[in-house]
Structure 1
């Protein structure tokens, strides 16, 4: 029954009263300290514990995994100071926490950061009591075998003269460093003469965004502390190294949690806590953990050999942008673009060429250039991999046997201030690059290949793309160049093919890369 005016009918009033009653019951349940999850919430329905019906707790999982988590205390020869990690400039600790730590005999809570990370971002070391001891730092770790193998961060134990491990029941052990891997910030320790320590398993699979996680560690040297949250994101690159592939979580993490585990609800380690973003020095709900797959791969090699040998193809790669994709004649801006192939390397022997776009490795998609770096770096030398790539807009496959990554790979840099013969690399109906060019053979010390950039117009299209004096243009399109005229001819050829952009291969102090120059209108910055 309804009325023509806007007055609610009896039915509507009843429905509202019923809803009000439902909300009242919900509020009463919260007030009574109980939470009844909606019946149609599958995520909550999947969680099973020994708690009474209608309640949920992490207590069962924490009780199961906590004995495997340890505090790691590091001693170094040095003065009476504290070595610890810091989040943000100066590694400041909030005044309230600082006062709390002083009250219990800890240091002032200030010190240099340890490990990778930029301003406002860094790993969390810990802090030790100030006093008669040498430099002391504290972090976290976890036991992965009954016979005493312990995993922690490299930055926790870096430069340590002595490493002590304390379990949750208060037992202390001296541990030795079996091996470290600074590139992934993983370290493996060993406690000798033990056979029955509690241990946890590294998960085989990756968590999903939104999964519940539990972090256990030693924040501020306080001992076993448990926090909970969810997986906020995966595949994070925080700029700490070429193998960045962090899991982002929002479980509260602070200094001293470094090296500690993050658990899934089935009690497996899905990641090792390593860094936080913290403009203020305190937790803001953005923490990063190394995925268990990476930890497992690195630890296996550290356990076998004490070091990590990484696979190596021998190519310089770069991301594929929309304009590069257009210049290459490919549809999707995905994959790893080969900018240069080093001679006598696995890539060269397999037939890889500059301009190839690698889109898969062993049938796993390569969405970004760093995907290839990570995947190759996690494989051992001698491993044969299958690469799917696009060359000249056509798909093809190559087989590559990986070599060992050299300890230090450097690219020689070259600067040049000489003036060139040409004041423009453009021409009629072609983009004016704003470059002065000269054949490399005519410039002392420039070698014999390509064309040297001897001057750059700061307002030109090339300057917008990062060209600098001293750069060497090796190719325009798919043609090698040796004179300024060759550059103009390459631009004209791309224009004649109705291409929207042309690829220029450039060698600079940072290595070899491809640059896309727009042929229609002004190049974008």
Structure 2
């Protein structure tokens, strides 16, 4: 009978038996086979110490200040000590009489107060430093601290909010500049490292892997996604590969709490350098535009227009007088290529156009009514966002019908004055849009030009077009909003 032993001894016995059993089993196989099986276990975690020594001196801490008026003593004619006396004993503070000449009154002084903390890295030995635009935005003073504790006042060379890239300059020489990497060689799963100043803690090192590439979170940049710990203060710091090369600028995090949650985004360094080169030359970034409003080409859209697969950028609207308008682009076109480069998804178009020098002549390949067409277009320069307000003549009372109401629309005739103002020969004005119309993006003030590819110069035309439309399918609506002609698709309720 086998004696009962304590759990600890029993466990040791089992370990011993397992070891003996393993040794016996291994003796049945050749030695080289056992070595081959254990080979994959030789991998070890990466050591970042040499990278920190190599790249660390190139990373800087950036503090920003803003000037705030000091109101202490303003308009009282007394110093801070006297003001404190009145406050401590609850006495009313006397004011300077109105008749006192303005030039004799004490003027409020401006004090530089801390505004924020970020990171950056040295681009060139003569003091050009790259960071995020949001780090230096609205700053009155920028202070750069090197790892050797030297501090410099920096000049903002230029910043670009669209890509969140900024360049600042300090007066120094012989600085340790970073080495730039090739983003095209970056692989998902690759180890990467970040150095920055989270919460003001200078030269903090964190590491992780590349989680994904080409993440669509902006109009002009496909981001690098990582699981590197990034927190407030890391913004503007470098993302570094295992070769000690900068392959991105840490810029954003996804968070529900405001803190790190395992998803961070970095601006690819090749895109950032393209922007920084323009900032260093002219202090601003010049981008191309063609004046189209675009949307994704879904499988449903591709099937409806006859495309073999969902690709390209669907033109929802064309700005009046824009390069696209002059080139003959129409709402409903699908842009497949720009200057011969394929448009796989809608986000590809603004990047290709934006990187094109304004004034350049390019070629658009569009898919329209079952065939490809090449259109010559001259790229214009992008303008600051502006909102144009237009007055509407609302003298006529809304006129609706059962057909229009079934789509959530209330429409009226255009007046002669409205036709003249909009330079249209006809159309119907949307006075209310709910349900299907609202879901399609229509709103009050839009002017409907056609329904289901039938021109609607009047409410009568509109009603007839709706009556003939197949309610089992989506109904295309061409409409005008301001200077833009756009395309919407309505899904009638069943």
Once the two structures are superposed, what CA deviation does each residue of 1:324-346 show, in whole Å capped at 9, x if it has no partner? 44443434343222233233332
2:476 is equivalent to residue 503 of structure 1: yes
Report Cα offsets for 1:169-190 as digits up to 9, x if no partner: 2222232111111121111011
Residue 191 of structure 1 deviates from its aligned partner by 2.0
- Is the 8 Å Cα contact of residues 196 and 202 (structure 2) preserved in structure 1? yes
State the TM-score, normalizing by the size of structure 2: 0.75
- SS of match in other structure, 1:71: strand
201 and 157 in structure 1: CA distance in 2 versus 1, 3 angstrom threshold: same
Change (3 A) 1:200 1:321: same
Bigger Rg, which one: 2
Q: Deviations over 1:187-222 (max 9, x none)?
A: 101122414433332535263332221111111111
Q: Is the 8 A contact 1:317 1:513 kept in 2?
A: no
Per-residue deviation at 1:403? 1.3
Whether 1:522 aligns to 2:493 is: yes
- In structure 2, relative to structure 1, the CA distance for the partners of 1:19 and 1:284 (3 Å cut) is farther
Q: Tell me the TM-score normalised to structure 1 length.
A: 0.71
**Which residue is 1:25 aligned to?**
none
SS at match of 2:402: coil
> Greater CA deviation, 502-511 or 338-347?
502-511
Seen in structure 2, the aligned counterparts of structure 1 residues 422 and 202 have a Cα distance that, compared at 3 Å, is: same
Q: In the alignment, is the contact (CA less than 8 A) between 2:120 and 2:236 conserved in 1?
A: yes
Deviation at 1:58, TM superposition (A): 1.9
Post-superposition offset of 1:408: 3.2
Inter-CA distance 159–70: structure 2 relative to 1 (3 Å threshold): same
Change (3 A) 1:482 1:396: same
How far off is 1:353 after superposition? 2.0
Contact 1:202–1:269 (CA under 8 A) maintained in structure 2: yes
Alignment of 1:222-371 (within 5 A): 222-238=201-217, 242-371=219-348
**Equivalents in 1 of 2:252, 2:385: separation in Å?**
26
- For the 8 Å contact 1:142–1:150, the answer to whether it is kept is yes
**Alpha-carbon shift at residue 286 of structure 1 (Å):** 1.4
User: What's the counterpart of residue 381 of structure 1?
Assistant: 358
Please, which runs of 5 or more residues in structure 1 have no aligned partner?
A: 1-12, 23-35, 46-53, 81-131
How many residues align? The count is 425
Per-residue CA deviation, residues 461-513 of structure 1 (Å, 9 max, x unaligned), is 33443433332212224443212333344456664xx9943321233479653
CA gap of 1:269–1:400, structure 2 versus 1, over 3 A, is farther
Change (3 A) 1:18 1:504: farther
Instruction: Name the stretch that deviates more: 248-257 or 371-380.
Output: 371-380
Contact 1:326/1:500, CA 8 A, preserved across alignment: no
Within the alignment, does 1:467 sit opposite 2:448 as a pair?
A: no
What displacement does 1:237 show?
Answer: 4.1
Change (3 A) 1:499 1:280: closer
SS at match of 2:364: strand
Match of 1:194 in 2: 173
Equivalent position of 1:171 in the other structure: 150
1:476 aligns with 2:451: yes
How far 1:252 sits from its partner (Å)?
Answer: 0.4
More helix per residue: 2
CA contact (8 A) 1:310 1:379 kept: yes
- How far apart in 2 are the matches of 1:398 and 1:16? 78
CA contact (8 A) 1:323 1:516 kept: no
Could you tell me how far 1:160 is from its partner in structure 2?
2.1
> Residue 90 of structure 1 aligns with which residue?
none
Q: Could you list the runs of 5+ residues in structure 2 that have no partner in the other structure? A: 1-16, 27-35, 71-110
| Contact in 2 for aligned 1:229/1:251 (Cα 8 Å) | yes
Alignment match, 2:82: none
Alpha-carbon distance in 2 for matches of 1:330, 1:414 = 40
Q: Do 1:314 and 1:347's aligned partners in 2 also have CA atoms closer than 8 Å?
A: yes
Determine the C-alpha separation between the residues in 2 that align with 1:37 and 1:152: 48
Cα deviation, residue 254, structure 1: 0.9
